[in-house]
Amino acid sequence: MHELAITQAILSVVLEAAEAAGARRVTAVGLTVGALTSYVDDSIRFYFELLSKGTLAEGALLRIRREPGEGRCQTCGGTFLVEPPLLPACPLCGSFDIQIEGGNRCLVECIEVEDGDLHPGGEGYP
């Protein structure tokens, strides 16, 4: 259920940016979600649809890109992608001396909007 809180934060960022840009409507949102966050894409989509009703983001397409973590072995120096379930050892040499980085962020990468001031055929537009 922690997807509810993160989705509220995502929607807040989206709406604040859209309103600051003078957008008429948000059409799509691109998210990067770390594989190690344990956030479930379908839950984020469900809460986004529910929470965005009656806002500029109602009906917006939510694009979610998963970002793996990276493991670095302190013994052999090898690097490898890390996704759940986590392996306790380096897949290259078997050492347990590994460090895991990344894969734990949730980031609004892009927001696509309809601008209320754009007119087809206007200056700079075909």
Q: Please name the residues in contact with 9: beta carbons below 8 A apart, sequence gap of 6 or more.
A: none
Task: Tell whether the torsion through CA atoms of 21, 24, 27 and 33 is positive or negative.
Answer: positive
**Residue 51 structure tokens:** 């929470």
pTM of the model: 0.80
CB count in 10 Å sphere of residue 12: 12
Successive 10-residue mean pLDDT values, the chain, 126 residues: 92 96 95 95 98 97 96 96 89 95 94 68 37
Domains and CATH numbers, the chain: 2-69+103-115 (3.30.2320.50)
CA 76, CA 13: separation in Å to the nearest integer?
Answer: 41
- Tokens 């469900």, residue? 46
